[in-house]
Copies of this chain bind each other. A is one copy, B any other.
C-alpha cells in the first residue's frame, strides 16, 4: 500500500499524471516514446495522423503533468519520457486489456 500514506497532495498529483495519460492519443504517444526515444511534434503528428495543434496540445498536457519532458533543438522540439518507468504503465494497462 505504497501510495496510501494518503497525503491528499500526492494523490492529487498522481491522479493528474494518470489523467494526463488516460487518453487514446496520449497513450499512443507514450507507446512511441518507450526506450528513451525522443520525437518531434511533427513526427508525432504524422505518426498519429492528427492535427499539429492537437498534437501540440496533447504534448503540452503530458508535459504539464510531469509525464514528458521536452528539449528544443533548432526548429524542433523533442519530447521524451520524464521517467522511463512510465512505460510500465502503458505495458501494464495493455496487458490487462483484452483485445
C-alpha spacing A22/B93, complex, angstroms: 13
Are A92 and B85 also in contact (CB < 8 A) when A4-B28, A11-B28 are?
yes
Q: Which residue of chain B has its CB nearest to the CB of A7?
A: B99
Instruction: Indicate how many identical chains form the complex.
Output: 2
Q: How close is A70's CB to chain B, nearest CB, in angstroms?
A: 17
**Which secondary structure dominates chain A's binding surface?**
helix
Are A27 and B3 also in contact (CB < 8 A) when A85-B95, A89-B92 are?
yes
Give 6 CB contacts A-B under 8 Å. A9-B99, A10-B97, A10-B99, A17-B96, A66-B96, A83-B95
Q: Taking beta carbons and an 8 Å cutoff, which residues of A are in contact with B?
A: 1-4, 6-19, 21-28, 31-32, 34, 66, 82-83, 85-86, 88-97, 99
